[in-house]
Amino acid sequence: MYKELYDSNGFKYYVLKGFEDLVELLRGKGVGVVVYLRVGLLDKLVFKLLGIPVYICGDRVILGFSVGSKDPGVPICGANEYGAKAIELGVDAKLRLYSLKLPRMLALPLSEINRVAKFIVVGASGVVINVSTAIFSRRLLIGLDQFIANPLASSIGFESSIIWNFVLHEEWTFKEAGLNKGVGERLKRLVKYHLASAASWASQAACATLLPAYLATPFWAGQVIGVLIGFALNFLLGYIYTWSWSRLR
């Protein structure tokens, strides 16, 4: 699980395989130093399911530690005879840990599950905005042929939710993701979000038009069904392609 390294002073450093660069954090700081990553219950479960070799101590994964030359290479958990000094790493280390077993595209959402939860909450609120705006727009278009009014109202609802979701993702979900906040970069992400949501728009417009026409369902029901069909795809493409692609490099 751990790789053993030495220095000229006789100290021993143990770092998790794949994290050999962490020795630079330990070097020169004496013995009893611990480098760790804070994890939750879901992380522990996924680590076990994926077979990621980690030493878990409470809510921490021990990524590296230093001991004296004659001491056993046992991970330091909490206080010890040296008075352990702790160095906590952030989400980038968790991404690296998941990437030991998974492609980075899958490892990234798992490494920031709180952000995924925010993304889903925003998406759910967007569904409400989408459907309510589409229903209101459809009422304003009474008198038009349903093959014109329905896709038009559906598209208005779709666009309203896109703008709503985009603003919330920029200012809440991905606010601390280290993304460029310049106007030009935001506009690029807005365009990418529209492209990522194209399939979702197509499913909404099709269901809102064809289901009422051929199955006599209410307009709102067709819109809801279309939104739900496109929700999963919109999540995958929106989360990864729009806001996370640059972070996967």
Among 74, 102, 130, which residue terminates a domain? 102
Among 102, 124, 146, which residue terminates a domain? 102
133 and 83 share a domain?
no
166 and 210 share a domain?
yes
Of 64 and 190, more confident? 190
Give pLDDT, residue 84.
62
Is residue 160 situated within a structural domain?
yes
Range of the domain at 96: 2-102
Residue environment code for 36-46, b if the CB has 16+ CB neighbours within 10 A, otherwise e:
bbebeeebeeb
User: Is the alpha carbon torsion for 141, 145, 151, 154 positive or negative?
Assistant: positive
Average pLDDT of the residues in 10-17: 83
User: Coil, strand, or helix at residue 205?
Assistant: helix
pLDDT one-digit tens code per residue, 92-119: 899 999 998 999 888 999 898 889 999 9
Predicted TM-score (pTM) of this structure: 0.80
Is residue 107 situated within a structural domain?
no
Total structural domains within the chain: 2
pLDDT one-digit tens code per residue, 70-80: 777 777 675 44
117 and 183 share a domain?
yes
Among 102, 136, 151, which residue terminates a domain? 102
